[in-house]
Each structure stands twice: as structure tokens, then as C-alpha cells.
Amino acid sequence: MTTPSITVLSLCAVCSAAFAQTAPAPPPPEFEVATIKPTPPSKDGSLYMSIAPDPALFRITGMNMANLILYAYDLKPYQLSKPDWMSEPYDIVAKMPPGATRAQTPAMLQALLAQRFHLKVHRESKVLPVYALVVSSGGLKIRPSSHGQEGRSSMSDGHWEAHATPLSSLALSLGGLDRPVVDETGVSDAFDFTLDWAVDEEHETAGLPSLRVAVEEKLGLKLKPCNRPIDMLIIDHIDKQPSAN
């Protein structure tokens, strides 16, 4: 008499498991209300850009549309295919929904851009010319940092002082070259280092090396020209102005 009961219980378990696998994921939270305004010009003409989420409000100051999309979709600059006009900075103040976390703000910003700018995008892979950042044949010339976590770095023209910086961040910071830089070192440690290089002919006359030479001579890394498939975000449509607040 016990066999039918076992069969019924087994069928119920199978049905419950199947339902759990097919149940749709809950939609991501959205900002309860948001205002989007062009950033007013400063008195001295400078532009300050910041992101300041807190439990109640999410604030963005002085960020143009390209950078908003980079933040919302967690992209590097070379992964975004965009029109040329996206340089106007915006200020955004949005009310966070109850229980929302900072980690959810990129997804909420995606929804906001779709609602207010009618942003439509798709993803595709493109083969692009890049520099692969690799360890040179002589090995690394820098030692792992003792700080244990990523620290602060400062960079000015021809000078970079880095503290507890991973090589992936180094690759991203080198993105101002004539092609993107992709980290292919396979090294996960963070490093302290100081790097000086020539930014113009005057510095070259003073004996400073080019950036590519400095990276190899001082850090033991090499920028290798190559082609790599890159995951791209393509903008299909975006309004130049947001809908009314």
C-alpha cells in the first residue's frame, strides 16, 4: 500500500523541480522617480563628474551619455559603438526603491535610459586591432603590493604613481593609445609602481622613453599589436533629449 504514496510524492517533487527551473526571474528594480537635467556650466569652465549612490538617492553629476551607458552596461570605452553627439553632460537624481542595493543601480540606470531616452541596443562581437598586454620574455620587473587590495593611483602627463594596482587596471588606463589594450598577462596580483614616459618631443629630448618602451623597461610588460574579437554594444536608437521629468 505504500508504493502508490511514494509514486505520488515523487511526481510532486518532479513537478516542483520543473516549476522551479521554468519560473521566470523577477524583474530588476527600477528607480521610483528620477530627474534628468543638463549639467549647468561652472564658473571656471571645469567639469566635475561623480556617482554617489546611497540608500535613499542615486546621484550622477556631470556625466555625458556615453559614460552613462558605459556605467549602466559595465563596458570599457572601446566596447561602445555610438554616435558622435553624445558629449553633453547630465545631472541625474533618482529615488532608490526600498531594499535596492548599489550593485543594482547599473540595471536600474539601463531601465531609466530606455524609458527617458528610448535607448535601444544590441550586442555583437567584432574583431578589432588591439594591444595585448603580456609579460615580456625577461619576466615582470615589479613585485606584488603588500597592501592586499586595490589602492589609489595618480596619473598626470608622463607620470603615473600606482599603489596596489592590478594589471587589468593598468591595461584599462593605457586605453588612451591608438588602439584598445587587453590584459592577457594572466597575472591577478596587484602592484606598486612608478612610471615616467615622454609625452612630447621635449620629454624625449630629456631622455625619457616612449610609453610602450617604458612599460617594457620599467614594468617587464609588453604591448603586442594583434587582432582580437571584442564584445561590443551597438546603439540602435537614442533620443538626443530626455522625455520630461
Looking at residue 14, what is its pLDDT? 47
Given the C-alpha cell 551619455, which residue does it identify? 65
Block mean pLDDT (10 aa), the chain, length 245: 48 49 72 93 64 79 93 91 90 91 92 96 96 95 78 77 89 82 93 87 70 92 95 95 88
Looking at residue 224, what is its pLDDT? 94
Q: Given CA atoms 85, 86, 89, 93 in this order, what sign does their dihedral have?
A: positive
Looking at residue 174, what is its pLDDT? 85
Angle between helices 65-73 and 105-117 (to 10 degrees): 140
Closest CA to 128 of 227, 226, 225: 227
Three-state DSSP at 16 gives helix
Beta-strand pair 57-64/50-53: antiparallel
Looking at residue 8, what is its pLDDT? 45
Looking at residue 15, what is its pLDDT? 45
Three-state DSSP at 170 gives helix
Looking at residue 45, what is its pLDDT? 57
Evaluate if pTM is beyond 0.85: no
Q: Which amino acid is at 191?
A: F
50 vs 59: CA distance, rounded Å: 8
Looking at residue 155, what is its pLDDT? 76
142 vs 47: CA distance, rounded Å: 35
